[in-house]
Structure 1
Amino acid sequence: MENQMNVWRINTRTRNLEISEFPAGWERLGGRGLIARILNDELNPNCDPLGIDNELIFAPGLLVGHRLSSCDRISIGGKSPLTGGVKEANAGGSTGLHLSHIGCSVLILEDQPKDSNLTVIYLSSQDCRFDDGSHLAGKGVYESSDILLQKYGPEVAIALIGPAGEMQLKAAGIQNLDQDRAPSRIAARGGLGAVMGSKGIKALVIDSSGGSPPDIADLKGFRKAQKSYNKSLLDHPQTKVYADYGTAAMARISHSFGGLPTRNFSEGNFESLEGISAETMRDQLLERGGDSNTTHSCMVGCAIRCSNVYADGKGRGIVSPLEYETIGLMGSNLGIGNLDEVARLNWEANDLGLDSIELGAALAVAAEAGKMEFGNFSQAMELIEEIRAGTPTGLIIGNGAASTGLAYQIERVPVVKGQAMSAYDPRAIKGTGVTYATSPQGADHTSGLTIRAKIDHLDPHIQIDVSRKAQINAAGYDTLGVCAFAGFGFGSAPEIIPALLQARYGWDVPGDILQELGRQTLILERKFNQRAGFTKNDDRLPVWMTREELSPHNTVFDVPDEELDKVFDWINEDD
């Protein structure tokens, strides 16, 4: 197989691999944008997300393959079992890099096997085969990845599911190896792990040892743009902040805005903030030593190094990374103010292959229903064990916050389009609330977080433009395969992205190519959702958030519906 960018299509029933060139309309897309294009071109939008007609798509972004700092992310997509609409979830680690090095710019998994046996798909530049995966059935992500690395060697990339994906739970994600071979980088949102489980695939193993990086049309120009990008990134003050404190720094920031989810989104401040703050985490890890690491990169060559390795009091690693979203949803949102306890909950979520955001939200709804006490770590662990055991209670919670609220008849369920909100309460950070409401992806901060905008976040009348811009940029970055934090460098020098694409592909691209890719992606995603039956009534936050005041500012989400309907008024949706 030549090292050229191609479509790799695997039928999981016949076990055939077909390789073809990109069809018209796909050529200048990657990552999230390419997934949206494929779903519109190939999928019946009304198909069963866990049935034979859904596809599971692995798409490296347009800049993936050359170890640019923070630019080797993998996008995974399909029709979401959780939202019923378009879904793209992306992750760091090594999956995207290795796929690009075997000449695969998109991998499409089709159909379903006739039997229920688990398989492992092995891919290299020379081979595609289905290996028996039955010995991994029911095993957690950590044990499974160890077994796979022993069999296939330490240099492969692996994307795999845990027991939650095997059970086809709607909160299941797909784990990917980081540069230290830990299966800790999850494409978490929307239930794509359940789609992988529905196709009988426990793991995808990519061996790029016989491959090479994608061709570069203008190597000199690419290296020049790369040098400019590295300087811009390293010169940005936020790069240092994230290296020291990681995403956990957002805990104090969200608290200061009155938007830190606390006890099932009932309050915006947490009295035990200091116990879960980034400063506490850093101090603890520096003191504990051993496996602890306060600054760590999930992708080879990342200069930001916002990740961490969280160790216990004896310096033994518990989990990597411990991120803000998990701290918010499985810490303050559960009334838990101890980082060791949050880290252990995080490990359990990872091992099961569950989205920690969705799981944390579901557990808090369960607490609201009296199934556990807020602040009780042991009871939270017991409910997670119910998921592992596949009990009726476990299946309810493992299918997400909406499932849990429906089963226990709870009104305060923080979801949009069936997907749980991230760790920013939209009544205090209203631009992000607009994103939650209107994003085709469902409630997701990565679709357009607005907390860094220099505005009054409580003013309901100035949020639309901020969210619109954030959503367009986020969709553009996801199409490039770029971490949002790479925006520190690209935002300071926006001419670098066009220069990189021109040098990489030889394309003539406009100066606003980031926004052009974002707009194109959102148009495609909106189109798919509309064909699946979504209307403007789905672009709303839960009614209780428009009535129930959030302390300490005593605010509700009061951005008018007619304003929400203007977020995408630049799209002609009558065509």
Structure 2
Amino acid sequence: MWILRINMTDRSVKFEDVPEKYKYLAGRGLTSQIVYDEVPPLAHPLGPSNKLIFATGIVTGTSAPTSARVSAGGKSPLTGGIKESNAGSPWAHDLAVMRIKALILEGLPEDKKTFWGIHLSWDADAGKPKVDFFDATEYTGKDLYEVAPKLFERFGDRISFAGCGVSGEYGYGNAGIVYNDLAKRPSRYSGRGGLGSVMGSKRVKFIVIDAKGAPGVEIVDKALFDEGRKKMIDAIRSHDITKPKGGLNSFGTAVLVNILNEAGGLPTRNFSSGRFEGAAKIAGEAIFETNKQRLGKDLYNHACSPGCIIQCSNTLYDENGKEITSCVEYESDWALGANCGIDDLDAIGEMVQLCNAYGLDTIETGCTIAVAMEAGVIPFGDAKGAIQLLHEMGKGTHLGRILGAGTETAGKVLGVTRIPAVKGQSMPAYEPRAVKGIGVTYATTTMGADHTAGYTIAPEILSVGGKADPLSNEGKAALSRAFQATTAFIDSSGHCLFIAFPILDIASGYQGMIDECNGVLGTKWTADDVLRIGSEILKVERAFNEAAGFTKAHDRMPEFMKREPLPPHNQVFDVPDEVLDAVYAEL
């Protein structure tokens, strides 16, 4: 395997053997370590010293289920700290089978007008990938749904791509990195943290991979890998949340809308309430029933990436049976719906499509629009106005650039005091005053407010992996710490985070994940090593952030959450500071 370095200052290419230090690292563990080792903590995120690293997981590119995941890492333009953003797509699979352990973009070109494309293909004669550059300027300033088909026309149907939209070209804090899905849509995202702008700063528009002829991933112990794979498949297919026609396959991640609304933890109208009266109209069940009425049949969901057997990605169709968008994730549904007071499912679908078209993170974008609504730019519930604000961002107008900077910056410019962000990143779709453990994760994770960093929703709301009282402060530091460490390992394994549901409840599934990793690497890891390795990753990330100027004061919730009771439970975020500090102090 190789580390592939591409320096955009002179478009030089270098293949390096994987150093011993990185031998057993992959995914998030590898991106974070390279950022720590090579990026100056005080570097400007869009300057020449920052780097953008792509690393596939340990089992990515193999037949392990739900494993076509890639981590993108760098210093975040949004938070100013370390960032890893994970996504599933064919591109992840293709990068892995090319035996590229990490692809590092570094440097900045002097020519700021030209955008470049990078084309990777397998050179059988050389026995390694071939790297070519092409002028991609013609693809800039355009809707990604217009541009993506042209890539397939130019390079063939087998390719996959990673890229940035106009938001990355503009340098927005809410710009994601886009990948194609299995249907060639530009709809899969490493959305959070503004890493699309890091890609844009290096004047890289697309990285295209043609993996034809690539040798695939080397597996040291095939028998052990196959044993683990079977355990994992059995666990996924037997758990109520992840099984065929189960919660996720039927209703997608938006199945959580009604669940969180009932729990009083669905942030509504810029985090002013925990319940939304229009929740039932936009929930996953509503998407399923809407499609059924419009298409005349039950429509179960599809995979976002090769080898996914959970298949939670939905498609929303209009009254004429034409696709509006794919897919309406829970976070997107909430951010552009309940958080903005919008209960029009078709309008939410249109906004998701626009976010994909412009390269915007739906969470950051929806939270920013809600803050703009609170400021009186448009009223809550104004779907047409929200769509217009998205176009402002896509066009790069003055207002669009303010909104594209993200929730915290836009809130400050607009004079808003209720700004739901930690470390500069907006909060996702779980109200921390109603679900205290996820609030601890928001406050303390190295990534800025991020539910995927330590998903305590599993025990607090879904009773997966045990049961924890969401309104209680008791034991929440240990709960969040354990979830953050385990998640760091899962993000490194190459599996989708949704395997957490079956492996937390089914011991054989947890062992299956470990067996798969041991089979690929030839290691002898145990369950204890999962927490050890995850904790080591967190320590590296924490050390980078501290060197970048972060202190305990950054591990705090916004002031309004400490003093404004949240309906319907009328709770404030009252987790003591010493509990928040204990998460990493006792790591």
> Smaller-chain TM-score range?
over 0.9
Is 1:474 the counterpart of 2:477 in the alignment? no
Shift >6 Å, 4+ stretches: none
Is 1:544 the counterpart of 2:560 in the alignment? yes
Q: Which moved more, 1:486-495 or 1:135-144?
A: 486-495
Query: Does the 8 Å CA contact 2:493/2:517 hold for their aligned counterparts?
Result: no
**Partners in 2 of 1:438 and 1:122 — Cα distance?**
39
Is 1:256 the counterpart of 2:262 in the alignment? yes
**Partners in 1 of 2:559 and 2:423 — Cα distance?**
13
**Aligned partner letter, 1:192:** L
**Pick from 91, 108, 113: which aligns with 1:112?**
108
How do 1:429-508 and structure 2 match up within 5 A?
Answer: 429-453=435-459, 454-491=467-504, 492=506, 493=508, 494-508=510-524
Query: Does the 8 Å CA contact 1:72/1:97 hold for their aligned counterparts?
Result: yes
Shift of 1:290: 8.6
User: How has the CA–CA distance of structure 1 residues 143 and 513 changed in structure 2, closer, same or farther, with 3 Å as cutoff?
Assistant: farther
Q: Which moved more, 1:139-148 or 1:531-540?
A: 139-148
In the alignment of these two chains, the number of paired residues is: 567
**Partners in 2 of 1:338 and 1:514 — Cα distance?**
43
Matched with 1:94 is 90
Query: Does the 8 Å CA contact 2:52/2:72 hold for their aligned counterparts?
Result: yes
**Aligned partner letter, 1:458:** L
Matched with 2:118 is 121
Is 1:228 the counterpart of 2:231 in the alignment? yes
Matched with 1:170 is 173
**Partners in 2 of 1:410 and 1:339 — Cα distance?**
28
**Partners in 2 of 1:222 and 1:451 — Cα distance?**
30
Shift of 1:293: 4.4
Is 1:341 the counterpart of 2:347 in the alignment? yes
| Residues 243-294 of structure 1: per-residue CA shift (max 9 Å, x gap) | 1111011101111111111111101100111111111111111222299943
**Partners in 2 of 1:441 and 1:502 — Cα distance?**
28
| Residues 477-507 of structure 1: per-residue CA shift (max 9 Å, x gap) | 1111211111234331222122112221212
> Equivalent residue of 1:184, what SS?
strand
**Aligned partner letter, 1:542:** P
| Residues 150-182 of structure 1: per-residue CA shift (max 9 Å, x gap) | 101111110111110111111000111111211
Q: Which moved more, 1:266-275 or 1:217-226?
A: 217-226
Shift of 1:204: 0.6
**Structure 2 unmatched ranges of 5 or more:** 124-129, 460-466
**Partners in 1 of 2:58 and 2:83 — Cα distance?**
19
Matched with 2:11 is 15
Shift of 1:225: 1.8
How do 1:131-210 and structure 2 match up within 5 A?
Answer: 131-210=134-213
Matched with 2:526 is 510
**Pick from 527, 534, 537: which aligns with 2:550?**
534
Is 1:301 the counterpart of 2:317 in the alignment? no
| Residues 8-50 of structure 1: per-residue CA shift (max 9 Å, x gap) | 1111111111111112321111111111111111110000000
**Aligned partner letter, 1:163:** V
Matched with 1:66 is 62
> Equivalent residue of 2:234, what SS?
helix
* Cα RMSD, aligned residues only: 1.3
Q: Which moved more, 1:447-456 or 1:558-567?
A: 447-456
Q: Which moved more, 1:44-53 or 1:20-29?
A: 20-29
| Residues 269-325 of structure 1: per-residue CA shift (max 9 Å, x gap) | 001111111111111112222999431110112111111111111111111110100
TM-score (norm 1): 0.97
Is 1:405 the counterpart of 2:411 in the alignment? yes
> Equivalent residue of 2:585, what SS?
coil
Query: Does the 8 Å CA contact 1:293/1:310 hold for their aligned counterparts?
Result: no
Query: Does the 8 Å CA contact 2:433/2:561 hold for their aligned counterparts?
Result: yes
Query: Does the 8 Å CA contact 1:119/1:134 hold for their aligned counterparts?
Result: yes
**Partners in 1 of 2:548 and 2:424 — Cα distance?**
14
> Equivalent residue of 1:151, what SS?
helix
Q: Which moved more, 1:432-441 or 1:96-105?
A: 96-105
User: How has the CA–CA distance of structure 1 residues 308 and 333 changed in structure 2, closer, same or farther, with 3 Å as cutoff?
Assistant: same
Query: Does the 8 Å CA contact 2:64/2:516 hold for their aligned counterparts?
Result: no
**Partners in 2 of 1:33 and 1:547 — Cα distance?**
37
**Aligned partner letter, 1:496:** G
**Partners in 2 of 1:516 and 1:321 — Cα distance?**
35
**Aligned partner letter, 1:338:** D
Is 1:351 the counterpart of 2:357 in the alignment? yes
Is 1:562 the counterpart of 2:578 in the alignment? yes
> Equivalent residue of 1:237, what SS?
coil
Shift of 1:367: 0.4
User: How has the CA–CA distance of structure 1 residues 192 and 290 changed in structure 2, closer, same or farther, with 3 Å as cutoff?
Assistant: farther
Matched with 2:323 is 317
**Aligned partner letter, 1:40:** Y
> Equivalent residue of 1:295, what SS?
coil
Query: Does the 8 Å CA contact 2:227/2:512 hold for their aligned counterparts?
Result: no
> Equivalent residue of 1:346, what SS?
helix
Is 1:45 the counterpart of 2:41 in the alignment? yes
**Structure 1 unmatched ranges of 5 or more:** none
Shift of 1:510: 2.6
| Same amino acid, percent of matched pairs | 41
Matched with 2:432 is 426
How do 1:370-409 and structure 2 match up within 5 A?
Answer: 370-409=376-415
**Partners in 2 of 1:455 and 1:186 — Cα distance?**
31
